[in-house]
Amino acid sequence: MAKTIVVTGGNSGLGFECASALSADHNNVVVIACRDTARANQAAQKLRQGGGRVDVLCLDLSSQPSIHAFVDAFRARTLPPLAGIVCNAGGQNVGAPARTAEGFEATFGVNHLGHYLLARLMLPDLAPGGRITFVTSNTHDPRQKTGMPAPRYETAEALAHDLEPGAEPGKRRYTTSKLCNIYTAYELAGHLAASPDPRLQSIRVNAFDPGMMPGTGLAQTYPPVLRFAWHYVLPVLTLFKRNVNTPARSGRRLARLAAGSEANATGKYFSDGHETLSSALSLDRAKALDLWNSSADMTRLPRDLSPASSDHPTKTDGRLNLAVALASP
Ligand SMILES: NC(=O)c1ccc[n+]([C@@H]2O[C@H](COP(=O)([O-])OP(=O)(O)OC[C@H]3O[C@@H](n4cnc5c(N)ncnc54)[C@H](OP(=O)(O)O)[C@@H]3O)[C@@H](O)[C@H]2O)c1
């Protein structure tokens, strides 16, 4: 049964490897959603050489109009039912703080807020049983002693305007944005489970930690010596250290969660290849709610899943039967 899966940041690192694993199943149409069309086309070309069915659509998560335009462009394509959205794109900025087009701090804006908006806008497009997977990081959890600063969540409003300079605040904004991914996964899963709409109820939402994956583009704002170590020294750790993975290994795991056998879970955290507990802070419901409500305000969406989200556009275009067939038993 043909189905479509969207992978944000599918041109590079984990996103590319996930897209590669997904496109190995020729029933899947993989839409790689990227801010740089040239890089995206290059990646798509590689995946097509392996026989994958791959489409490219432009998406810049640092711009809300770009996210809306992506959704419009997606709807204008004739694609098989949408079975999954992999919210993977993201970055870590240890250089000068940056802002999104709307003026929000960019690590928060791209890693969290852009994906929040994308996931909510695409709810009407998801087929029954569809999956949304947020890529987070074990660096959100101080117990893991990853060497990264602990996240600091006071309010979403404070995070959206935190432009404190320096490498350490930059890293902290990253770990906090990954905490936001978990809050969003849990909160969205709860909203969907409580929805009166059976299609929304059937959508599964999870958070996925790929572990440390040296060699990806994540370290691009680090000083040259650390970038060298990231690309040429640290990959040796994948041979013996727990939860240090090649992008290919984590990409296969992510693809399984986003579209495969583990996907019946919802509102769960997966790390090192299995479901496990996320940090104590990530279970703080008041903070998750603050993030949910503030993010709705910052993206001009209703705080509740509006009745409009229940209107499944594929109802009218003859693809509903395919969509229904995707629903998990
Ligand atoms: N590498 C690790 O050790 C590690 C560990 C835990 C979690 N993660 C998570 O894994 C995910 C993927 O990271 P990676 O390590 O694979 O790094 P990567 O190779 O740098 O990939 C990041 C992807 O995100 C895209 N991206 C960045 N900003 C964007 C924007 N404004 N709009 C759209 N796309 C944007 C990048 O596009 P460009 O190519 O155009 O820059 C790239 O495709 C991230 O969420 C990261 O937090 C990574």
Tell me which residue of 313, 327, 324 sits closest to 75, measured CA to CA. 313
> pLDDT tens digit string along 175-216?
999 999 999 999 999 999 999 999 999 999 999 999 999 999
Residue nearest ligand 1's atom 39 by CA:
12
What burial class does residue 186 get, using C-beta atoms within 10 Å of its C-beta: 0-12 exposed, 13-18 middle, 19+ buried? buried
Q: Which pLDDT does position 161 carry in this prediction?
A: 98
Q: Is 212 in the pocket of ligand 1 (CB under 6 A)?
A: yes
Mean pLDDT confidence for 237-255: 96
In the three-class reduction of DSSP (H, G, I as helix; E, B as strand; rest coil), residue 294 is classed as helix
Q: Any alpha helices (H) in the chain, and if so which ranges? A: 13-23, 37-49, 64-76, 106, 115-121, 156-160, 167-193, 198-201, 224-228, 247-259, 285-298, 320-326
Does the pLDDT value for residue 324 go beyond 50?
Answer: no
Q: Which pLDDT does position 316 carry in this prediction?
A: 34
Q: Is 88 in the pocket of ligand 1 (CB under 6 A)?
A: yes
Share of the chain above pLDDT 90, in %: 91
Does the pLDDT value for residue 99 go beyond 80?
Answer: yes
Q: Is 59 in the pocket of ligand 1 (CB under 6 A)?
A: yes
Q: Is 61 in the pocket of ligand 1 (CB under 6 A)?
A: yes
Distance 190 CA to ligand 1 centre (A): 27
Does the pLDDT value for residue 326 go beyond 60?
Answer: no
Q: Which domains does the chain have, with CATH numbers?
A: 3-210+247-326 (3.40.50.720)
Q: Any alpha helices (H) in 91-136, and if so which ranges? A: 106, 115-121
Q: Which pLDDT does position 310 carry in this prediction?
A: 45
Distance 8 CA to ligand 1 centre (A): 9
Tell me which residue of 292, 264, 309, 263 sits closest to 186, measured CA to CA. 292
User: What count of other Cβ atoms lies within 10 Å of the Cβ of residue 197?
Assistant: 17
Distance 162 CA to ligand 1 centre (A): 21
Tell me which residue of 176, 157, 160, 125 sits closest to 326, measured CA to CA. 125
Distance 43 CA to ligand 1 centre (A): 14
Q: In the structure encoding, which two tokens stand for residue 219, read together?
A: 């370290």
Question: Which of 19-23, 30-34, 323-327 is the least confident region?
Answer: 323-327
Residue nearest ligand 1's atom 18 by CA:
217
Q: How confident is residue 261, by pLDDT bands cut at 50, 70 and 90?
A: low
Q: Which pLDDT does position 260 carry in this prediction?
A: 79
Q: How confident is residue 308, by pLDDT bands cut at 50, 70 and 90?
A: low
Does the pLDDT value for residue 312 go beyond 90?
Answer: no
| Alpha-carbon gap, residue 251 to 10, rounded angstroms | 10
Does the pLDDT value for residue 314 go beyond 90?
Answer: no
Q: Which pLDDT does position 263 carry in this prediction?
A: 58
Residue nearest ligand 1's atom 36 by CA:
9
- Looking at the CA of residue 8, tell me the nearest atom of ligand 1: 34
> pLDDT tens digit string along 274-294?
999 999 999 999 999 999 999
Tell me how far apart the 2 most distant CA atoms of the chain are, in Å: 56
